[in-house]
Amino acid sequence: PAPGGGAPPLVVHAEVQAAIDAGEPVVALESTIITHGMPYPDNLHTARAVEEAVREAGAVPATVALLDGVCHVGLATEELTRLAQLGRERVAKCSRRDLAAVMARRGHGATTVSATMLLAHLAGVPVFVTGGIGGVHRGGEASMDVSADLTELSRTPVCVVCAGVKSILDIPRTLEVLETNGVAVAALGASEFPAFFTRSSGCAAPLTVANPHEAAALVLDPRCGARTHDLPRSPQISELRGRVQFCVFQTHARGRVSRCTHCILPSQPLLHSTPLCHARPYTHTHTHTHTHT
C-alpha cells in the first residue's frame, strides 16, 4: 500500500488504458514466468508469443511487473526486454505481501498470481490468464503451506483463466479451501478439474461451463455478488496423467525421506533415473466431491 493506506501507484500502458476507456477487452498477464521460469532469451520469446496470442484473440495484453519500484500494468517493448534480461538474480518474485518492500527500495519485481490480480484490479482489468495457480501443498495440513493465491481469489474481483493448480500440489484440499472462501470454480468444457499438465485430476469440477459465452455470463452476472472466478482450461495431454502423478508421488516420497517438508524436489532430477516416458502409470481413484454447508 502507498503512504496513508492508499493503493500503490500504477503506470498503466497507454494502449491498455485506451482499451479500458473504450470498453475493449484487456487481459492481464503475470511476469514471474519471465524472470523465474526460463533463461534469457527464451523468456523474452515466450513473453512476446503469449502477448501475441492475446492479440490474435482480439484483446490487448497487459503484462504486469515492477520496474524501479513502480508498478506497471502493460509493458512497452523495451520494458519487457529489460525485465527479461534482468532475470531472477535482480528481480524479486512478488506476491501481494512483497509489493510494498520492493516499491520502498525501488527494486524490480515479477508478479505472481496474487500480485497480478491485485494490480490488474486496481487498473480496471477484470480478466487475468496464467498457467497454473498456487494452492495447498502436499502435507499442508501439517505445514500450513497454502498459497496466497487462494486468499487473493477470495477477495479480489478478477476472473482468472488457468490450467488449474500446479500438479505437484494437493488438488482436493485446494478445492476445499476455494469452496470455503466462496470462490466460484468452473471448468471450461469439462466435468473434471484439470491438473495443470493434464485434463484429468480425479477431482470433479465444482461447476462446468460449456463455452466462453457461458463463462462470460457467469463472470459478468451482477447477481453473483463477488465476481472472483477461477476458470480452469484443460491442456490436451490427458494420456500423461498417470505418468505425471507417478513422478509427483515418487518425488514427494523422496522429499519426505530426506526430511524436507517445504521442497519436494529431489537432489537429482527424478527423470534422470525414471524417465517420464517409461514411468509406471499411477492409478488415482479418488474423486473429490463438495458438500455445501
List the catalytic residues.
Answer: 30, 166
Angle, alpha carbons 37-38-40 (nearest 5°): 135
* C-alpha cell belonging to residue 82: 529489460
List of long-range contacts for 91-97, beta carbons under 8 Å, 24+ apart: 91/35, 91/36, 93/32, 93/35, 93/36, 94/32, 94/66, 95/148, 96/148, 96/152, 97/148
For Cα atoms 276, 278, 283, give the angle at the middle one, nearest 5 degrees. 80
Q: List the grid coordinates of 181.
A: 472462501
Residues in the chain: 293
Cα separation, 221 vs 292, whole angstroms: 21
Q: How far apart are CA 70 and CA 103, in angstroms?
A: 6
Nearest to 24 by CA among 55, 62, 59, 53: 59
CB 73 within 8 A of CB 12: yes
3-state secondary structure of 188: strand
If phi over 0 gives left and psi between -120 and 50 gives alpha, with beta otherwise, what is residue 170?
beta
Rounded-to-integer distance, Cα 242 and Cα 250, Å: 12
Whether the CB-CB separation of 79 and 72 falls below 8 Å is answered with: yes
